[in-house]
Amino acid sequence: METTNTKTYTKPEKFVYYFAAGEAEGNAGMKNTLGGKGANLAEMTAIGLPVPPGFTISTDICTAYYAEGSKLPDWVKPEVLKALSRVETKIGKKFGDTTNPLLVSVRSGARASMPGMMDTILNLGLNDQTVEGLAKSSNNPRFAWDSYRRFIQMYSDVVMGMNSSLLEVTLEDLKAEKGIHLDTDLSTDDLKKLVKKFKDMVQQMTGQSFPSDPMEQLWGAINAVFKSWNTARAITYRELHDIPAAWGTAVNVQSMVFGNLGDDSATGVAFTRDPSTGAKKFYGEFLVNAQGEDVVAGIRTPQPISLLSEIMPEPYKDLETIYKKLETYFKDMQDIEFTIEKNKLWMLQTRNGKRTAKAALQIACDMIDEKLITEEEAILRLDPSSLDQLLHPTLDPKAAKTILAKGLPASPGGVCGQIVFTPEDAVEWKEQGKKVILVRIETSPEDIAGMVAAQGILTSRGGMTSHAAVVARGMGKCCVAGCSEVEVDYTNEQMRAKGYNLKKGDVITLDGSTGEIYLGEVKTIEPKLDGAFDRLMKMADGVRRLKVRTNADTPKDAQTARNFGAEGIGLCRTEHMFFGADRIDAVREMIIAETKSERERALEKLLPMQRDDFYQLFKIMEGFPVTIRLLDPPLHEFVPHTDEEIQHFAQRVKMDANRVKAKIQALHEFNPMLGHRGCRLAVTFPEIYQMQSRAIAEAAAKLTSEGMKLVPEIMIPLIATAKELEMLRAQTVAVVETVMKETKTKFDYQVGTMIELPRAAVTAHEIAKHADFFSFGTNDLTQTTLGLSRDDSGRFLGSYVSQGIFAKDPFVSIDQVGVGTLVKTGVDLGRQAKGQLKVGVCGEHGGDPDSIEFFENVNLDYVSCSPFRVPIARLAAAKAHLKRKKK
Ligand code: PEP
Ligand code: MG
């Protein structure tokens, strides 16, 4: 449940913070208490910028509000009233005064900017009497009544929950009736009529009269801000951005300044640099004679900020000085809101501006050159995950789209193609020059060829570390996994979603970065890596301690990873090499074999192929370490399944189909993930690992004789006991030594193990005696520690995250307390037994920035991740190291 709904809170000593020129009670460092907006408003007033006076009610009160059962505690009110009266004194106007009334805006403001929260309420404090006072004091009745009708529109929508489009329609009808286009062309009388009509409509629709008491309006708005913290859209936004429910929001109450006082008034928003390219150029827009919401609402087209210098040169000059000051002060690109009231500039907000990854890199490099920030500060500020945006083609944000469903964003990129339901069709259609999306309930190693052929993969089941997700990420291929809203019907080759029934050949588009699936083709844009990218990557390399390797099983992946800066291979899953059309039959013969000699005959066919696989990988890696993992999955994953496939296979290899079938049935397991897989295969069939070890050694020998210096690392998976490793290591060493004798070569090599079972982690000191290195297989370690199937839990893990049981999907970001403790234990015990034991991680977590920070802190030597995550990991490792040094 939302953790804000707790009964336990302590009454804070101070919770209302006043701000006015030179009198700020808060500062920019108080975001946790004041929210981002409140903290920066305080800071701006402190550094002498023109900010309308006001006060911030702290986030603690949001906690108290929920603890009291969605109600403001009584002790809040006196403090709010005190702050309000300070604002009144400062401005020389009184709230609710009928001659010269103070009006305020009420805004939400959480620690992190949250677009899902409550919309701003402006002009609060107006009623039938104060509006007359405002008309007189401003000498502008039209402005006063325009402000009043805006207030009713906003308040009835945001606080009273009325559908505001009804009032908007009434306004539009009136404009049509009068033959005018702009709100600004409405006369005072028109506005008066509208106000009356609006109030009547509010009464009719909500059954409540519009509150005329300004104090009642204020409490209504403050309550509404706190309430908006738990609306469905705010909760969704928090989930998407990992914002804890416990943070709560603050409320900012600020005296109004008016951009709608005439042609010498305006309102606008701006970025101190271009948020999409990062170019050093003041970027923004404004509207003359308007209030804030007009700029965002798109009713009138705002003008580019450059024009402001012509229309209002004086306030523009001030704005220029201020934005430069703000950037230098906050040392970051700012997103600002301002209002010009009768040629005087007022600042309403400043915050670090959101930007694309491309802009983030450009701005970081420029600010280093401008000596505004250091290289370390630049690295600390970048979000490694956002680099993903740069590495894959993405959907054109401007393109029109019809959403079909949403699954897990398993592997980024934007792709479109015709849907097919079998890997065979994927391969065949690709050969015909078509672009396809492979749609499966879930994938298995058998589908690899189809996955390679497809532009992208969509599965209706499986989580972020399901086969489809892991393999697609490894290939840098777009994948949406576990999309339960899509019903896949293999029999009729159809998929259903949102009432659409799509057949084989229909076109869909996948967004692997958001998990969204769209109907038809959506335009994409190609990635471009520029100088800033390279420059920051090099800076990160100069800082980080952790090495970054890649998980790669093909020369293409290995090359991609090298190009992205990988320093070796941390995991080559050799099973992925078994599915090639030239060898799958030999693999199956090996599995079906009844006798050792039959098995050896099949393995002999595989040996030269594997030798060549390894030779190529070693060569691409140019002497960087390469870890080859010996066969891991249960054997039944490789055998044919349907009667037809069995018949064909039996014919090709001249075997009795019944014998093949019986053997396949015998391989069936109820829990294959906990069954006959990993090193357990080699305990019963040593020949498989022996063949692979020989292929590795022969490839290394060949390269050694060609003059390359390399140290192959042979890795044994799924070790639970030291005895298993002791035995299998001895076998491996014997094979490698034999090859060296046979080939008269000498090279160094290592034999190590994966730590992916809890027992291995807690007995790591025993296991380390037989290992030259450890690599944590955190996919299986998470699966076995939590007892959660990595292939099935995607269906319900979402609920675990939304209900706060897990902060994040533990297959995506390591469960630091549980699985992480096992990792730490494994590292410490392993190194107790062997001081300099090399330790890395090759589970999916090796590419997740938060997990990388954890791995840095438990002293791993390297992380290994999919090729397209290598740049992310390089930056995350640098950031983690800097953070650690700071501590
Ligand atoms: C792991 O379990 O973390 C791992 C890397 O191995 P696989 O994903 O191949 O099981
Ligand atoms: Mg594993």
* 387 DSSP assignment: G
Instruction: Please tell me the predicted confidence (pLDDT) of residue 4.
Output: 42
Rounded mean pLDDT, 659-679: 93
The number of angstroms, rounded, from the C-alpha of 740 to the middle of its chain's C-alpha atoms is 48
Give the Cβ contact number of residue 176 at 10 Å.
10
Read off the amino acid at residue 850: D
The residue among 379, 360, 361 whose CA lies nearest residue 878 is 379
In angstroms, rounded to a whole number, what is the distance separating the alpha carbons of residues 471 and 522?
24
Say which CATH architecture domain 544-634+669-886 belongs to: Alpha-Beta Barrel (3.20)
- List all residues whose CB is within 6 A of at least one atom of ligand 1: 470, 571, 573, 632, 756, 777-780, 842-843
Categorize the per-residue pLDDT at 116 as very low, low, confident or very high, splitting at 50, 70 and 90: low
Question: DSSP assignment, residue 689?
Answer: H
686 closest CA partner among 605, 600, 767, 613: 600
User: For domain 258-355, is the CATH number 3.30.470.20?
Assistant: yes
Is 467 one of the catalytic residues? yes
List, by residue range, all CATH 3.30.470.20 domains of the chain. Answer: 258-355
- Kindly indicate the confidence band of residue 122, based on its pLDDT and cuts at 50, 70 and 90: very high
pLDDT score at 298: 44
The per-residue pLDDT for 465 is: 60
How would residue 293 be classed by pLDDT, with cut points 50, 70 and 90?
A: low
User: Which ligand sits nearest to residue 464's alpha carbon?
Assistant: 1
Percentage of the chain with pLDDT > 90?
A: 75
Nearest CA to ligand 1 atom 8: 779
Q: Does pLDDT of 686 surpass 80?
A: yes
Residue 475: pLDDT band with limits 50, 70, 90: confident
Residue nearest to atom 6 of ligand 1 (CA): 777
Ligand 2 centroid, distance to 543 Cα (angstroms) = 30
The pLDDT tens digits of the residues spanning 183-217 come to 778 899 999 999 999 999 999 999 999 999 999 99
pLDDT at 530: 78
> DSSP letters of 428-485?
HHHHTT--EEEEESS--GGGHHHHHHSSEEEESS--TTSHHHHHHHHHT-EEEE--TT
**How distant, in Å, are the alpha carbons of 12, 80, 769 from that of 75?**
11, 9, 65
Confidence tier at 162 by pLDDT (50, 70, 90): confident
Q: Which atom of ligand 1 is nearest to the CA of 842?
A: 5
Residue nearest to atom 1 of ligand 1 (CA): 777
Domain boundaries for CATH 3.50.30.10 within the chain: 393-525
> Helix-strand-coil percent breakdown of the chain, rounded to 5?
50, 15, 35
What's the pLDDT tens digit per position in 14-36? Answer: 999 999 988 899 999 999 999 99
pLDDT for the residue 605: 94
* pLDDT value of residue 131: 97
Q: What is each CA distance from 309 to 305, 306, 314, 319, in whole angstroms? A: 8, 6, 8, 10
Where does the pLDDT of residue 240 fall: very low under 50, low under 70, confident under 90, or very high at 90 and above? low
Give the range among 230-239, 267-276, 658-667, 669-678 with minimum mean pLDDT: 230-239
What's the mean per-residue pLDDT of the chain? 92
Minimal-distance CA residue to ligand 1 atom 10: 780
Measuring CA to CA, which residue among 142, 143, 233, 158 is closest to residue 202?
158
Among the listed ranges 141-145, 229-233, 654-658, 851-855, which one has the minimum average pLDDT value?
229-233
User: What atom of ligand 1 comes closest to residue 843's alpha carbon?
Assistant: 3
Question: Which of the residues 479, 572, 679, 842 is marked catalytic?
Answer: 842
Tokens (6 digits) for 483: 């999309």
Identify the band that residue 1 occupies on the pLDDT scale cut at 50, 70 and 90.
very low
Two tokens, residue 193: 């009529």
Closest ligand to the CA of 719:
2
Fold annotation for 393-525: Glucose Oxidase; domain 1 (3.50.30)
- Considering only CA atoms, which of 418, 530, 524, 410 is closest in space to residue 465? 410
What is the rounded average pLDDT of the residues 283-295? Answer: 81
Residue nearest to atom 3 of ligand 1 (CA): 777
Query: Which atom of ligand 1 sits closest to the CA of residue 575?
Result: 9
The full DSSP string for 11-34 is --S--EEEE-TT--S--GGGHHHH
- What atom of ligand 1 comes closest to residue 776's alpha carbon? 3
> In the predicted model, is pLDDT for residue 771 greater than 70?
yes
pLDDT at 115: 59
CA distances from 25 to 17, 18, 85, 107 (A): 6, 6, 16, 18
Sheet with 266-271, edge to edge strand ranges: 303-304, 283-288, 266-271, 334-341, 344-352
CA 553 to chain centre: 26
Q: What is the CA radius of gyration of the chain?
A: 32
Taking the C-alpha atoms of residue 559 and residue 548, their distance in angstroms, rounded to an integer, is 15
Percent of the chain exceeding pLDDT 70 equals 97
Distance CA 767, CA 787 (A): 23
Name the band, by pLDDT with cuts 50, 70 and 90, for residue 5.
Answer: very low
Residues of the chain with CATH 3.20.20.60: 544-634+669-886
Residues with CB under 5 A from ligand 2 (ion): 756, 777, 780
- Residue 504 CB coordination number (10 Å): 17
Do 718 and 756 touch, CB atoms closer than 8 A?
A: yes
CA of 144 to the centre of ligand 2 (A): 69
pTM exceeds 0.85 for this model: no
Query: Is 636 among the catalytic positions?
Result: no
Do the beta carbons of residue 354 and residue 277 sit within 8 Å? no
Q: What is the mean pLDDT of residues 219-241?
A: 84
Token code pair at residue 757: 């079972």
**Which residue's CA is minimally distant from atom 9 of ligand 1?**
573
Is residue 613 predicted with pLDDT exceeding 50? yes
Query: What's residue 338's pLDDT?
Result: 95
pLDDT in tens, 38-97: 999 999 999 999 999 999 999 999 999 999 999 999 999 999 999 999 999 999 999 999
User: Within 13 Å of residue 840, how many CA atoms lie on the same side as its CB?
Assistant: 31
pLDDT of residue 235: 79
Higher pLDDT, 303 or 241: 303
| Ligand nearest to C-alpha 575 | 1
Q: Which among 392, 467, 636, 845 is annotated as catalytic? A: 467
pLDDT band for position 721 (cuts 50, 70, 90): very high
What is the Cα–Cα distance from 365 to 361, expressed in whole angstroms? 6
Q: Which of 779, 785, 814, 819 to mutate to test the pocket of ligand 1 (most atoms within 8 A of CB)?
A: 779
How far does the centroid of ligand 2 lie from the alpha carbon of residue 756, in Å? 6
Q: What is the pLDDT of residues 808-865, one digit of tens each?
A: 899 999 999 999 999 999 999 999 999 999 999 999 999 999 999 999 999 999 999 9
Over residues 588-610, mean pLDDT: 93
